[in-house]
Structure 1
Amino acid sequence: MAMSLGPLLLVFVLGSVATPPTLALDDPRYTKFLTQHYDAKPKGRDDRYCENMMRRRSLTSPCKDVNTFVHGNKNNIKAICGKNGSPYGENFRISESPFQVTTCRHTGGSPRPPCRYRASSGYRRIVIACENGLPVHLDESVISQ
């Protein structure tokens, strides 16, 4: 009987090691966060960048007023939910170090497409809400250097 448990135990251990990254991909709030706010390697970071990204990410029906794209490594962003972030307010965490960001602001006019955006880029500490160790919301109202 002990001989037959060996392979089963091996499958269980390997399965538990491989599961966490898969669960992160299945988390709908984390996936939405990535869609709305993550762009690893931006091209441009100007007004055209904002207009293209907002359209590609389906943030233009209606035109979203403000949206920030965080550039860099996904693992560094996730780490804000742990050791690389500090509590901020009641339910948020602020990054220990600044991230490269591009903020897109709707320039006004109609809330219907075509949407026009003004880009501003720089580095700043970001404030996020976390759930199950994953970022699920970026607080656009906090701009911390």
Structure 2
Amino acid sequence: MKTSIFLLVALSGTVLCIADGRVQNFQNQHIISTIPPGGCDDLIANRNIRDNNGNCKRKNTFIIGNFNQVRTICDPSNRINVNRNLYESPYDMTSEEPCKYKNLDLKDKKVTIKCENGLPVHLQETKRQGF
């Protein structure tokens, strides 16, 4: 019995660490306050943003804002898909994509993100208003 309780506590801590890592990864890959003077190429290099295989990403979206602003998207009132735990921003966000080749300022976009425990962990999609 004592072993089971210890294992449950140990596994719970592991899950929290993984979730924290996903939140930090989301923040590193997608949230910026402004585009730096060196542009997105430098930003991607400095943050070491890669795809799941460790290669350069063909496209990356940056949400211009701060973490607390983006976190508000995870409010239950913004949920659009319960099964996939997806939320959509209730207001337009400014983003930049794709950064490897050129910067495109795409204003007035909605972002759909996956949230876990009220925190953003994955950028699902971006879409322009009216599409």
**TM-score (norm. length: structure 1):** 0.64
**The residue matched to 1:59 in structure 2 has which SS?**
coil
Amino acid at match of 2:49: L
Q: Quickly say closer, same or farther: Cα 1:51–1:35, change in 2 above 3 A.
A: same
Amino acid at match of 1:52: D
Alignment-derived partner of residue 106 in structure 2 = 122
Q: Are the equivalent residues in 2 in contact too, given 1:102–1:120 (CA < 8 A)?
A: yes
1:39 is aligned to 2:32? yes
Q: Are the equivalent residues in 2 in contact too, given 1:88–1:94 (CA < 8 A)?
A: no
Q: Are the equivalent residues in 2 in contact too, given 1:95–1:125 (CA < 8 A)?
A: yes
| Residue in structure 2 matching 1:102, options 77, 86, 96 | 96
- The structural deviation recorded for 1:37 is 0.5
- The structural deviation recorded for 1:59 is 2.1
- Cα RMSD of the aligned pairs, angstroms, is 2.5
Alignment-derived partner of residue 55 in structure 1 = 45
**TM-score (norm. length: structure 2):** 0.70
Misfit runs of 4+, over 4 Å: none
- The structural deviation recorded for 1:58 is 0.7
1:76 is aligned to 2:69? yes
Alignment-derived partner of residue 132 in structure 1 = 117
Measured in 2, the distance between the counterparts of 1:76 and 1:83 equals: 15
Amino acid at match of 2:40: C
Measured in 1, the distance between the counterparts of 2:76 and 2:69 equals: 10
Q: What does the per-residue CA deviation read over 1:80-119, in whole Å, with 9 as the maximum and x for residues that have no partner?
A: 110562314742111000111111254xxxxxxxxxx222
Q: Are the equivalent residues in 1 in contact too, given 2:32–2:66 (CA < 8 A)?
A: no
Q: Which ranges of structure 1 fall in alignment gaps of 5 or more residues?
A: 1-22, 107-116
Alignment-derived partner of residue 5 in structure 1 = none
Q: What does the per-residue CA deviation read over 1:115-144, in whole Å, with 9 as the maximum and x for residues that have no partner?
A: xx222112211110001100000024x423
Q: What does the per-residue CA deviation read over 1:53-95, in whole Å, with 9 as the maximum and x for residues that have no partner?
A: 1111112552101100101132121011105623147421110
